[in-house]
Structure 1
């Protein structure tokens, strides 16, 4: 479910709600042919405490509806699933995905570093503080032909400025202006998939570190 959904998300950046409804409904029905229905229902109910949280995060705009529904469907299909003895929680997949979310920051730093080495003036025309430039280097880069990305620059009084406000994952339009500073529209479902794989093979990265495991 997650791998196919990730492929669709990368390709189209949109997944219909029916996709998650079918998988989630199938997972729920399969509980009733299991050998321990009561225990499985309790485990599923506990895992579903993540549902109101991810719906709130979706409505705020930190990630898309497909990401929220994927986590809810996952809580139904494979609640608290892991192949290890490491502790996990209903939020483990999401917290692991949050750790993986730091990877794009390093990619942006490397990309901007390469541009500077090539002698490109990535801040040409900007009048900004060093602090905002550092933030821009972390979250984005100057793209020649943006695709599936959000603009993080604006013009005020004929001068370029960075626009570092949070972009709503579903309502904000993608930038198509050439040679513009952008922040990539990362398919968060990829990170959720990675987070779940880590949950299966390792457990909870953050919880494990807190407990010294």
Structure 2
């Protein structure tokens, strides 16, 4: 009888209103959470799209300066005095100096023009790599390191161009000789392999992240 009296004394209209409000709030809460997840996924996917596009643009442009670098290296080798009695290292230095004095300024100008054309895509790629940190992606450090390596090669080729453009340097100076040995050590084949390897690393990161987003 007490339970019946308690039940009949309740204002059921108010109870129903309260329950409806609670259910509505719960539905709104879960809808908001779902929208937030979808919005986050969309922003992450948009970033990945931009990263892949920027990477492909850079990869399409960077072979031109690498090829010209390779041609310049062949030019250096062609000027090595094979008749000289010095050891191989000294002959290589003499060949490099002879090439620079004859063709360095001209080839450096062409190389710097190609580097200038690639620079906008490199800047965009670096900017996107920095922006990507805000998403806290799993394994993002590998992607960022890959982008750093990709764009670092432009700096190496630029150092090469600046050095071969300096046709009037004192080649007996130890510091100048050190710079000369540095540019002689730059290997176009090694750069190509590194570019390919890091390109694959960026694409793998993007693919793995896409799968996690839409899992």
Common topology (TM > 0.5):
no
- TM range, smaller chain: under 0.3
Write 1 or 2 for the structure with the bigger share of strand.
1
Normalization by structure 1: what TM-score? 0.23
Question: Which has the larger Rg?
Answer: 2
Normalization by structure 2: what TM-score? 0.23
